Chain A
Amino acid sequence: MGNALVVSVLYIVVAVSLTIWLAATLYRNGLELLRQRDDQQPLLAQATSRLLVIGFALFTLGYAFLLLQVRGEMTSVVALQFLIRRLGILLVSLGLLHLLSTLIFLRFRRSRAEEDAAEREGRRPSRRNSASGDEPPSEQARLRRGDR
């Protein structure tokens, strides 16, 4: 087997397993991040997280394959240097991309929290009115209280 082939296979194995690991980490922890304490829509957090992570994984894999440009045969030393260099570039860019995705997740979280706050703000007047009357609390408000 030629050195170029060995290097390509090693690189692809590392790239794919790294992508899977990063995507799994991102999905698991991102889900934790998007889930609110009094969540009414747990599926929404799951869907958001999965969509973001799939985008991340596809982009990462494509980038990794584009990065690997083997040209012709190489001596074993050159092959080793080539492999180390490519892995270095891959790791650096994936690390940056991962941090960027974390920022995106945090941004999503903040916008959801703001939405929730705005919703609560909007509901406050009606709650004050209903305190004097005997009308039952709205379905959503009841759910929210029940979750806590």
Chain B
Amino acid sequence: MNGAIVVYVVYVALAIALIAWLGVLLHRDGRIFLDDVFRSQTDLAAAVSRLLVTGFLVFTMGYALLLLRIDVGATPIVALRTSVQQFGVLLLSLGAMHSLNMLILLQVRRRAVDRRAAAAKSSRADRRGRVASR
């Protein structure tokens, strides 16, 4: 029983470490994207980034807990095997979610850049129109 418990505790510790690391990465690098989106209004980008990362952290922790199946009667070997399997599932889904996050960030930035280009074009046209009317 004790061996199995140790295995589960290790699983939880590893999951927390992994999730915290991903959260830090997402916050640090996502903010650079968002900085560009919000035209370097740094406070704003930091606020959005913090909100997104908080949601990500809470969701992922819950997912990791849901994956955890505790079977106290198991021998350490069996517990290890199932825990490794669960960890594999966790890693796969975290990887998928991280990629999804990346895609969303890229998409958001692309849209902002497009919008900015359109706005610049229309303001240039506006200025030209005003000059012509004089």
Listed in ascending order, the chain A residues whose CB lies under 8 Å from chain B are: 18, 22, 25-26, 28-30, 32-33, 37, 77, 80-81, 84-85, 87-96, 98-99, 102, 105-106
Contact = CB atoms under 8 A, between A and B. Distances in A.
A35 to B, nearest CB: 9
Interface residues of B, number: 26
Interface of B: prevailing SS: helix
Contacts of A28: 47
A81 B5 CA distance: 12
B51 interface: yes
15 contacts: A22-B54, A25-B50, A26-B51, A29-B50, A29-B51, A32-B43, A32-B47, A33-B47, A84-B68, A88-B63, A88-B64, A91-B59, A92-B62, A93-B62, A99-B59
B56 interface: yes
Given A32-B44, A85-B66, A95 B60 contact: yes
Interface in B39-58: 41, 43-44, 46-48, 50-52, 54-58
Given A85-B66, A99-B59, 6 more contacts: A18-B58, A25-B54, A88-B64, A91-B62, A92-B63, A102-B48
A81 B70 contact: yes
Contact of B65 (A37, A88, A98, A105): A88
